Chain A
Amino acid sequence: MNERPTICVAGLGSPHGDDRFGWLAADRVGALGLPHVAVRRLRSAADLIGDFANFQKLVVCDACLAAGPVGELRRWTWPDAELAPLAFSGGHDLGLAAALALAGQLGKLPRQTSIWGLTVRPPARDGSELAGPLSAMASGALDPFVDALARELCHA
Chain B
Amino acid sequence: MNASERTIRVKALARVEGEGGLYLRLHNRQVADVQLRIFEPPRFFEAFLRGRALEEVPDITARICGICPVAYQMSAVHALERALGVQISPQVRLLRRLLYCGEWIESHALHVHLLHAPDFLGYDSGLSMARDHGPAVERGLWLKKHGNALVEAVGGRAIHPVNVAVGGFYRLPKAADLAALVPAFERAVSEAAAVCRWAAALPFPKYDRDYDMVALVHPDEYPMNEGRIASTDGTSWPVDNYEQAFDERHAAHSTALHSVRQGASKPYLVGPLARLNLNLDRLSPTARRLADEVGLAWPCQNMFQSIVGRGLELVHACEEALDILRNYVPGKLARAEYSYRAGEGCAATEAPRGLLYHRYAIDDRGQITFAKIVPPTSQNQLQIEDDLRARVPALLDADDAALAAACEHVIRNYDPCISCSTHFLRVQVERT
On chain A, the residues within 8 Å of B131 by CB distance are 105
Q: Which residue of B lies closest to A101 (CB)?
A: B127
Task: Give, as a whole number of angstroms, the nearest-CB distance from A104 to chain B.
Answer: 9
Return chain B residues, CB-CB under 8 Å to A4: none
Q: How far is the CA of A49 from the CA of B141 in the complex (A)?
A: 9
Enumerate chain A residues within 8 angstroms of B159, measured Cβ to Cβ.
90-93
Contact of A102 (CB < 8 Å), options: B67, B141, B158: B141
Q: Does B285 contact A (CB under 8 A)?
A: no
Given contacts A91-B66, A92-B160, A93-B158, contact A46 B141 (CB under 8 A): yes
Select from chain A the residue with minimum beta-carbon distance to B63.
Answer: A92
Q: Find the A residue at minimum CB distance from B141.
A: A49
B130 with A105: CB separation less than 8 A? yes
Q: Per-position contact with B for A94-137: 1 when CB-CB < 8 Å, else 0? A: 00001001100111000000000000000000000000000000
Count class of interface residues, chain B? 10 to 19
For B130, the chain A residues whose CB sits under 8 A away are 102, 105-106
B127 contacts which chain A residues (CB < 8 A)? 98, 101-102, 105
The residue among A47, A105, A107 with the most chain B CB atoms within 10 A of its own CB is A105
Nearest to B419 among chain A residues (CB) is A92
Q: Measured between C-beta atoms, what is the minimum distance from B140 to chain A in Å?
A: 11
Flag if B148 contacts A44 (CB, 8 Å): yes
A44 touches B158 (CB 8 A): yes
A90 to B157, CA, bound (A): 12
User: Measured between alpha carbons, how far is A98 from B141 in the docked complex, in Å?
Assistant: 13
A84 to chain B: closest CB distance in Å?
12
Bound-complex Cα distance A84 to B144 (A): 22
What are the interface flags for A31-54 relative to B under an 8 Å C-beta threshold, 1 for contact and 0 otherwise? 000000000000110110100000
Confirm or deny: B137 has a beta carbon within 8 angstroms of a beta carbon on chain A.
Answer: yes
Contact of A93 among B66, B126, B128, B138 (CB under 8 A): B66
B29 within 8 A of A: no
- Majority DSSP secondary structure for residues of A touching B: loop
Number of cross-chain contacts by CB at 8 Å: 39
Whole-angstrom CA separation of A93 from B106 in the bound complex:
10
Compute how far the CA of A106 lies from the CA of B135 in the bound complex, rounded to whole angstroms. 8
Q: Which residues of A contact B144 (CB under 8 A)?
A: 46
Instruction: Give the size of the chain A interface in residues (CB under 8 angstroms).
Output: 15
The minimal Cβ–Cβ distance linking B151 to chain A, given in whole angstroms, is 11
The answer for the CA separation of A92 and B137 in the assembled complex, in Å, is: 19
B391 within 8 A of A: no
B129 to chain A, nearest CB (A): 9
Contact A105 B134 (CB under 8 A): yes
Chain A residues, CB < 8 A from B148 = 44, 46, 93
**In the assembled complex, which residues on chain B have CB atoms less than 8 Å from the CB atom of A44?**
148, 158
Q: How far is the CA of A107 from the CA of B126 in the complex (A)?
A: 15
What residue of chain A has the Cβ atom nearest to residue B142's Cβ?
A49
- B211-246 residues with Cβ-Cβ distance < 8 A to A are none
Q: Which of A47, A101, A106 contacts B134 (CB 8 A)?
A: A106
Cβ of B372 under 8 Å from chain A: no
**B145 within 8 A of partner (CB):** yes
CB closest chain-B residue, reference A90: B159
Residues in A neighbouring B134, C-beta threshold 8 A: 105-107
Q: What is the minimal beta-carbon distance from B318 to any residue of chain A, in angstroms? A: 18
Partner of A92, one of B66, B138, B141: B66
Contacts of A90 in B (CB 8 A): 159
Q: Who on chain B is nearest to A15 by CB? A: B157
- The complex places the Cα of A105 from the Cα of B137 at a distance, in Å, of 10
Q: State the Cβ distance, A10 to closest chain B Cβ, in Å.
A: 15
Expressed in whole angstroms, the Cα–Cα distance for A105 and B138 within the complex equals 11
Q: In the bound complex, how far is the Cα of B138 from the Cα of A32, in angstroms?
A: 34
Q: B152 — nearest CB in chain A belongs to which residue?
A: A43
Name the interface residues of A40-88: CB closer than 8 Å to any CB of B: 43-44, 46-47, 49
Which chain B residues border A101 with CB–CB below 8 Å? Answer: 127
Complex contacts, A49 vs chain B, CB 8 Å: 138, 141
CB proximity of B255 to chain A, nearest CB, Å? 23
Query: Smallest Cβ distance from B45 to chain A, in angstroms?
Result: 16
* From B67, B144, B159, residue with most partner A Cβ within 10 Å: B159
Question: What's the Cα separation between A47 and B158 when bound, in Å?
Answer: 13
Per-position 1/0 for B364-402, Cβ under 8 A of A: 000000000000000000000000000000000000000
The interface residues of chain B lying within 8 Å CB-to-CB of A92 are 66-67, 159-160
Q: In angstroms, how far is the closest chain B Cβ from the Cβ of A98?
A: 8
Least Cβ distance of A94 to chain B in Å?
8
Q: Complex formed: what's the CA distance from A92 to B67 in Å?
A: 7
Contact residues, B119-135 vs A (CB, 8 A): 126-128, 130-131, 134
Knowing that A101-B127, A102-B130, A106-B137 touch, tell me 4 more A-B residue pairs with CB under 8 angstroms: A44-B158, A46-B148, A93-B66, A105-B134
Closest 3 CB pairs of A and B: A92-B66, A105-B130, A92-B159
Interface residues of B (CB under 8 A from A): 66-67, 126-128, 130-131, 134, 137-138, 141, 144-145, 148, 158-160
Instruction: Give 17 pairs: A residue, B residue, CB < 8 Å, sorted on A.
Output: A46-B141, A47-B145, A49-B141, A90-B159, A92-B159, A92-B160, A93-B148, A93-B158, A93-B159, A98-B127, A101-B127, A102-B126, A102-B127, A102-B141, A105-B127, A106-B134, A107-B134
